[in-house]
Amino acid sequence: MDDMNLTTLQKGHKVMRADAIEALAAGLRGRLITKADSDYDEARTIWNAMIDRKPGMIVRCAGASDVIKAVRFAHDNHLLLAVRGGGHNIAGNAVCEGGVMIDLSAMRSVWVDPATRRMRVEPGATLADVDAETQAFGMVLPTGINSTTGIAGLTLGGGFGWTTRKYGLTLDNLISMDVVTADGKLRRVSEKEDPDLFWALRGGGGNFGVVTSFEFRLHDLPGNVLAGLVVHAFADAEMVLKQYRAALEKAPDELTCWAVMRQAPPLPFLPAEWHGKEVLVLAMCYCGDLAAGQAATAELRGIGKPIADVVGPVPFAAWQQAFDPLLTPGARNYWKSQDFAALSDQAIAVLLDAVRKLPGPECEIFVGHVGGAAGRIAGEATAFPQRSSHFIMNVHGRWRDKAMDQKGIAWARGLFEATKPHAIGTAYINFMPEDEADRVEKAYGKNYRRLAEIKRHYDPENLFRMNQNVKPLPEMRAAS
């Protein structure tokens, strides 16, 4: 193995001798992957094709001991460090340029204890891995809506989806975590053990260490859920959104309904003449008694004259995978997000105007319906701040051709600016692109200072900076 020129934390370069690199590789249960390996390009490729970075080395970890060795190697040599779980992060923070990339994708173990309703999950697991195990026992962990998403990044940034209103965010169901901090120590954190770090990890993203194991509480969800899509012509979108908004005011916690606006894909239940035309889709899920679900969804399904209504009983794990075909790897993605306390008439008008200007057939706007159990937790109880948001908007720019970057990004940014007057200022960090570093402090609101203090204690050199970065407190003061 040759000497290697690696990027440092300060974006300089350090030549690492071959013997030091060989010693790291020899001590791993997993693998050290470099540019000389045939699978290097595959290992550095993540979900968002807009991200094209080349780490100096990739440490594909087989367990916590490998993570400890990789973190110590980066820390002791002041090297730029990135951490990959599922690789779905929109900002591409899983990959760094020229530094050390810790790859957790081989650590996918999921273990369910039905007697205690608890689950232990490794950080490389996907939502599909989690659902397969929990549903085998008639249980559920509230997570996101795309089964190929990694559990680690989703959890550390929040985690909301079809069962959030009933059972809270993914991070609200954490019992404990094993985490390797910047000093290379493996810590068990919980409400009783390192409680400040436990608080920070629940919403603070990858700022505080590398989680090697999550322990969650589970909830009963046997049988099917009542779920599916109701598709409307875009000409009716204003009416539908206003009635949708009214119907959700009295929705039970078991019911979640999201609104999606885009050009209709060639779905088999849609008449061919609607393919490629702008539509509004109500995607709904009721996680409870099916008869009660029919009553609870009746008002939403009774809005206007839909093109199609394909709501019915479906296994929950299958519903979790329903949107996977629209979110496959390989596309270029640029997102913008806003939190809304309410979906005002003015906000609706802005959204509808943007749909009339969609830059491509895969671009969309979705409005996620949250609140419920997640909204009844105090904003300071965890690092996740936006407990008052009832809706989360994601401006989802997605295309295949690099030549579309300028047009697609401009569309997403324009809609983001236009919705600012109607939003509450916080943000879901998992939806933030890499160019929003100036938004991080505002996104965390009153929780930011405590996060910066905890960062100073556990990561004073800001080793974990490839994220929506919370700077250690002295750096924050110096910048102000």
Q: Is the pLDDT of residue 477 over 80?
A: no
In a domain, residue 208? The reply is yes
Q: Which of 68, 83, 103 is the last residue before a domain boundary?
A: 103
DSSP state letter for 17:
P
pLDDT at 378 over 60: yes
Q: What is the DSSP letter of 379?
A: T
Q: What angle do CA 104, 107, 111 make, to 5 degrees?
A: 140
Among 174-178, 299-303, 321-325, 347-351, the least confident range: 321-325
Same domain, 169 and 51: no
Query: Which pLDDT band holds residue 386 (cuts at 50, 70, 90)?
Result: confident
Beta strands at 57-60 and 81-84: parallel, antiparallel or unpaired:
unpaired
Whether pLDDT at 461 is above 80: yes
- In 420-458, alpha helices (H): 440-444, 448-458
Instruction: Check whether 396 has a pLDDT greater than 80.
Output: yes
Which of 103, 120, 137 is at the close of a domain?
Answer: 103
Q: How many CB atoms lie within 10 A of CB 294?
A: 15
> How many independent structural domains does the chain possess?
3
Neighbours of 457 (CB within 10 A): 14
pLDDT-based confidence at 479, cuts 50/70/90? very low
Encoded tokens for 30: 């997993």
Same domain for 81 and 122, yes or no, is no
Residue 172 pLDDT > 90: yes
CB 50 within 8 A of CB 92: yes
Among 162-171, 297-306, 387-396, which is the least confidently predicted range? Answer: 387-396
Question: What integer is the mean pLDDT of 99-119?
Answer: 98
Output the average pLDDT for the chain: 96
Q: What is the pLDDT of residue 317?
A: 95
pLDDT classification of 478: cutoffs 50, 70, 90: very low
- From CA 62, how far away is CA 325, in angstroms rounded? 30
Query: Within this chain, do residues 62 and 119 fall inside the same structural domain, yes or no?
Result: no
Q: Are residues 181 and 301 in the same domain?
A: no
Q: What is the model's pLDDT at position 480?
A: 41
* Residue range of the domain that includes 251: 224-431
* Tens digits of residue pLDDT in 211-246: 999 999 999 998 899 999 999 999 999 999 999 999
416 within a domain of the structure (yes/no): yes
